[in-house]
Each structure stands twice: as C-alpha cells, then as structure tokens.
Amino acid sequence: MKEAGSTEPIGQNLIKLISNVCFSVFVFSVLVFTVIAITYQPPDPWLESSQALTKVFTEVENATFTTDTSVLQTGEDLAVEVAVSPPSTFSITTSTIEKSEEKIVNSSSTLDCDDTLMQVNCSDPRVLIAIEKFNLKVFKSIVFLDYQTPVNGSKPKECDVAWRFRNKKEKSWRKYRDFRRFRLAIGENCTYVVAGASGWHSGSNARRPRGKISGSSSRSGRAPRVLPLVRDEEINDTIPTIGSETDFRKGRYLYYSRGGDYCKNMNHYLWSFLCGLGEAQYLNRTFVMDLSICLAATYNPSNKDEEGKDFRYYFDFEHLKEVAPIVEEGEFLRDWKKWDKTHKKKIPVRKVASYKTTPMQLRKEKSTTIWRQFDGPEPENYWYRVCEGPAAKYVQRPWHAVWKSKRLMNIVSEISGRMDWDFDAVHVVRGEKAQNKELWPQLDGDTSPGALVEKLQGIIQPWRNLYIATNEPFYNYFDKLRSHYKVHLLDDYKKLWGNTSEWYNETKLLNEGHPVEFDGYMRVAVDTEVLNRGKTRVETFYNLTKDCKDGINTC
C-alpha cells in the first residue's frame, strides 16, 4: 500500500507536466499566428502570390470576352485602401429631405388644392422636395449628390431638373449627371407629388450649357485642327508641365525605356505599368510616363497590333495625376534636352541596364534621373521583372491609382440610365470557345438561343430589361429572347460613340483632331461595367453551362 501511494504523485505530476507543456505550445502557436496575421501585408490587393498573378496577367489571351481577364479590374473595382481620401460629399437622403420640409412648413405661399387649376412654380422648394422623394423611391441603386433648382418644362405642369449622382456599385467618388422632365400634381394634404417622369436626359431645359474645349489637352500642347463644341467639364486630363528649369533640376525621376511589354495584352501592360509606378513611389521619385499605348491584336478587328493609342482613352488620367507623382515622357525629354543645351553641367543620370538591379539597391541613388533600360530579349525586357523576387516585399503596386476612363464610364452610366437603373444582365461567352469542342464540348449548345430562353426563364422575371454582354458577333442571334424580355445589346447604343457624340468629340481632341475608333477593348470595358450593374447577373460558366471556364477538367 505504501509503495502504491508513493508512486501515485509521480504519475499525476507527469500528467500535469505534459498537459502544461502542450498548453504552453498551443498558447505560443496562437500568439505567433496572431502576430503574423496582424503584421502581414500582401504586396498586392489580391491575396495571391506574385508568381501566380504574374502568370495570370502575362499569358497570351484569345479574343473571347471574359470579365475577369480580358478587362482587368482597376482601382475603383478593388477593395483596397486608397492613398487619398474621397472629398466629403453631401448626399440626398430621406432625413435631409425631411429637414428641408421643416424649413418651409411656415411658408406664406399656399397651393391651390384643385389639381385642375394648379399652377406650378418650378422654383418652389416644394417642387424639388417632391422630385427628390420620387427619385429616392424609384432609383435605389444610385446615390443623389446634389440638385439644381428645377426649371419650367414644355407644358404648364412640367418641370425639368438636373442632378449629380454616383452608382452604389462603383467604389470611386466620381460624379455623373442626369436631367429629366417631371409632371407634377397635387397629392394628399395639398402637397406636390410627381405624377410622371420621362427618361434619361429628357429634361433638356435643365441641361447646363458646357464650355468650349481648348486645345490644351492634346499631347503636343498645340490646338487641333478641329475643335469640338462641348466637353465633360469634370474631366481634366491635360498634361501637367514640370515648370521652370530650376524645378526640373530639383526633381527626382524614374524613367523606364520601352520594353517587351509594348503591344502585349492590356492586363500585361497594367501589371508592368503599376510595377514601374510602384518602384517610383518606393524610391520617392516622379515616374516618367509614356501616354502612348500599343493595343494588342486581340482587341482589334484587323487582328493587328495598333500603336499610337492614348492612355486617356482607357484610363482616368486626371485621377492618376492626383494620387501619383508623374510627368509625361515628351514633356520630360523636352525639358531634359533644353537643360543640356543651355547648361555646361549635365543632368546626373544613373543608367540601369538590367532588372536584376533591385529597387532596394537604388534607394540611396542621388542622380536626378534613374533610367531603367530594357534592351534584352523577352522575357528579360518586361518591366514587371523589376518587382519580382525580394523586391515584391518592398514595392507595392498602387492599384488605387488606376481607374477606368471617365469618358467610357459616362457611356456606362448612359446605357444604365436609359434602362432606369432597373435591369438584369446575362454574360454570354461564345466566340472561339464555343467553336472549340475539345475544351468546351457543351458551351455552343448551352448558349444556343433555345437553351438561353429555357435557362433564363427560370432565373429572370418576364419582360424585365435584359442586358446581354457578349462577344457573339451576330446581332440577331438573341432574337428568341425578345419574345420574353426587353433585350438590350451594346450595339443598340452606337450613337453614344458615334460621330455626333461627346465621346467622339472629346477623344478626337486628344488625337490631334483625328477620329478615334471605339475599339474592342473599349467595347469589352463598357460591356463589363454595364453587366456589373445588373440587379441579377447570370454568368456563362456558373449558370448557363457545366463546361469549365478554362476548358475541360479545369473546374
């Protein structure tokens, strides 16, 4: 009995010791995991490896429309922290309308409650309140930012009013304009109510006259031969100047020579461009930017690369200027050449021949210009190689700096607005994928007109506005759907980029007075953005077919 009693405490102590050790290991593991979770910051907004993203953005794509690779998501799409705070904006809400109503309750003017005798004074604040209430009830997918005072319409009981807004699905703080015509009546309690409203941009009397365009936003700085009459006054994509010679000499610049990225697909271009911009920010330097883009053959009907495209056709240059220090290449080279001609002491330049010289090694470089040259064979001459390896931990791509062109987004807003922001959307991928039976054996049949009718009837209510984003070239391919829905296709809106449109006039100005083609990339960008605004979205590879998006056995 004594021996058993003497060994029992040893066993218990051993069990307690093991338990304490295990618990300590557990606590330590949790602590380490917590520290890593708090301190870890991925180099890019998507939680994937740099190598995986590089593969996605640099592989050659075919021309098939896809929302996730043909058009890269930009800063206003990604849930990333922006470098600048959005300007404080006042939005019209139910509470702000109620406060406005309280202010005019004691107004001395009264309404004639006989609707047949009613005379509408469009500048009466009660008219605007009635319109604001109506808009909040009808247009739930947009945020109303401000209104102009209503003006008379074409008939006694009509008022036209303009307002600025933004779409709730767009993460940028850009503003868009609409102006509509409203028919007023007398409702309960002898108050104004909206008896009817016309469609998008119908209130022509409220349209604010826009100023004439100057020639300052052309690349050369010279006035083009043909000046359009109007422009979107909220777009300022003029090229910034460096200033005086002293300002140029005091600057610090990062200059990338054109490399193998030129004429690659747009995803590759952006992946590389943001690498250069990210290195410039890491080095606290101004990035020298070439506004000229070569559009890859996959986006062109000619199936040929097209040089001389302007960055501003596709992306928001005004926003880029606001959030990142940049200078246009032509402006930079002219000032550099001028300095060297007028001064004996040349501008200090550090030429970097290989991407293998890392940004960290250039951190303390004091030369005015760091000139990276990409003269090697592909893929050694790709810009994005600078940001690979150890540099990925230090250089972060500033995704927030790149937004889609406001001019293209104006077209998106107009298409959505013409459907009163109340539509469903379906993405129908066909093209080369539908013809490739080895990789997509069922796609062609699953996206046939009959199959589409059968599938969509179980998802979308009849006679809804249905926007079809597609690469199917035959316009009448979707005619069977017209017996069930109000079908809308991108080509229904050709006038928005035709030769009488604002887009046509403004891009023509950027192109030295020459017309700009509404190319394949622009079409896909607009198609994608309208698709994203649909209340119900039906995807090809998630809803319409069991085929895998990247081919057989890749689901």
pLDDT score of 498? 96
pLDDT score of 91? 77
pLDDT score of 20? 74
In this predicted structure, the answer to whether residue 527 has a pLDDT above a threshold of 70 is: yes
Higher pLDDT among residues 68 and 551, named by residue: 551
Query: Distance between CA 522 and CA 528 in Å, rounded?
Result: 10
Contact (CB, 8 A) for 17 and 24: no
Grade residue 205 by pLDDT with cuts at 50, 70 and 90.
very high
Mean pLDDT value across residues 116-137: 89
Grade residue 118 by pLDDT with cuts at 50, 70 and 90.
confident
Identify the three-state secondary structure at position 382: coil
Query: Distance between CA 533 and CA 135 in Å, rounded?
Result: 18
pLDDT score of 18? 72
| 9-23, 149-163, 411-425, 500-514: least confidently modelled range | 9-23
Q: Is 219 exposed, middle or buried (0-12, 13-18, 19+ CB in 10 A)?
A: middle
Higher pLDDT among residues 139 and 7, named by residue: 139
Query: Distance between CA 206 and CA 246 in Å, rounded?
Result: 48
Contact (CB, 8 A) for 515 and 504: yes
Nearest to 440 by CA among 524, 547, 287: 547
Grade residue 68 by pLDDT with cuts at 50, 70 and 90.
very low
Query: Distance between CA 555 and CA 551 in Å, rounded?
Result: 8
pLDDT score of 173? 82
- Both tokens of 151, joined, read 């003006």
Three-state secondary structure readout of 465-511 = EEEEEECCCCHHHHHHHHHCCEEEEHHHHHHHCCCCCHHHHHHHHHC
| 111-125, 225-239, 383-397, 477-491: least confidently modelled range | 225-239
Grade residue 185 by pLDDT with cuts at 50, 70 and 90.
very high
Rounded (10°) CA dihedral 302, 307, 308, 313: 60
pLDDT score of 233? 74
pLDDT score of 117? 62
Residues with Cβ within 8 Å of 149's Cβ and at least 6 positions away in sequence, in order, are 122, 123, 128, 161
Higher pLDDT among residues 78 and 313, named by residue: 313
Query: Distance between CA 205 and CA 13 in Å, rounded?
Result: 90
**194-204 per-residue burial string, b: 16 or more CB within 10 A, e: under 16:** bbebeebbebe
pLDDT score of 116? 62
In this structure, the strands spanning 142-147 and 151-152 are unpaired
Helices (H) and strands (E) in the chain, counts: 15, 16
Nearest to 320 by CA among 311, 333, 332, 329: 311
Element (H, E) at 523: helix 520-532
Farthest CA pair distance, the chain: 112
Query: Distance between CA 178 and CA 197 in Å, rounded?
Result: 13
pLDDT score of 30? 62
Q: Is 33 exposed, middle or buried (0-12, 13-18, 19+ CB in 10 A)?
A: exposed
Nearest to 499 by CA among 511, 512, 516: 516
Higher pLDDT among residues 218 and 317, named by residue: 317
What distance, in Å, lies between the first and last C-alpha atoms of the chain? Answer: 68
**Which residue is associated with the tokens 């890593």?**
36
| 76-85, 222-231, 468-477, 545-554: least confidently modelled range | 222-231
Grade residue 236 by pLDDT with cuts at 50, 70 and 90.
confident
What is the per-residue pLDDT across 238-286, written as a single tens digit (0 to 9) for each?
888 887 777 888 899 999 999 999 999 999 999 999 999 999 999 999 9
In this predicted structure, the answer to whether residue 39 has a pLDDT above a threshold of 50 is: no
- Both tokens of 22, joined, read 């295990």
Mean pLDDT value across residues 54-62: 46
Mean pLDDT of the chain: 84
**Which residue is associated with the tokens 């040893």?**
10
Mean pLDDT value across residues 7-31: 68
What is the per-residue pLDDT across 492-504, written as a single tens digit (0 to 9) for each?
999 999 999 999 9
Nearest to 511 by CA among 308, 230, 232, 329: 308
